Each structure stands twice: as structure tokens, then as C-alpha cells.
Structure 1
Amino acid sequence: MSLEREHECPECGETRTFWKVAAMNLHLGEKTKWHCGECDYGFIQINGISTEQAA
């Protein structure tokens, strides 16, 4: 998996580069933390399921 990805940032209101700041394997799958490079908004994904708030 890449260390960066393009993603819509709800704080900035546009697509930004998000950086992978941590990753580990759990019994549920891989847990990955992502943070916006501009405003430091972050979210977590576990096995592809996100903690992001729905718009």
C-alpha cells in the first residue's frame, strides 16, 4: 500500500493528499491511520472500513 493517497477532506472542502501515519495488523484486518497534509484532519480504516463521518 502507498504512503499517500488523494482523498476528499471534509475540513478543507476539497481533494487533498492524505499521508499514512501508522499501520498495524489486527485480528479484524489491517488498521491504517490517514492524515490530511494541509489541516491534519485524520481518519482510521480497518480492513477497508472507514471511521470517517458520512457527508
Structure 2
Amino acid sequence: MILDFSCFCIFLYLLFLMLFVVLIFSYARKFFSILYSSNSVAIFFHFVIEYY
């Protein structure tokens, strides 16, 4: 009984972790799309790439 409960807890933990990662990726994609849509940030990235 205790073993089943611990496995269930691990399963829930992994489920929440996956949900958290998916949320982070979706917000990051929105953030980067906003960044790329603005022109000044694109110019800034261009200069950064040129200097490196």
C-alpha cells in the first residue's frame, strides 16, 4: 500500500513537472515572437551577432 502511494506521488510530480515545462515553452515562444516582431531588438541581435 505504501509503495503504491509513493509511485502515485512520483507520477503526480512528473505530471506537474511536464505541465510546468510546457507552460514555460509556450510563454517563451510568445515572448520570442514579440521580440522578433519588434525591429529594434532584431537590429540589436544583428549587432551582437556581428561583434561575436
TM-score by length of 2: 0.17
Normalized per residue, the structure richer in strand is 1
Bigger share in helix: 2
Question: More relative contact order in 1 or in 2 (CA 8 Å, sep 6+)?
Answer: 1
Structure with greater Cα Rg: 2
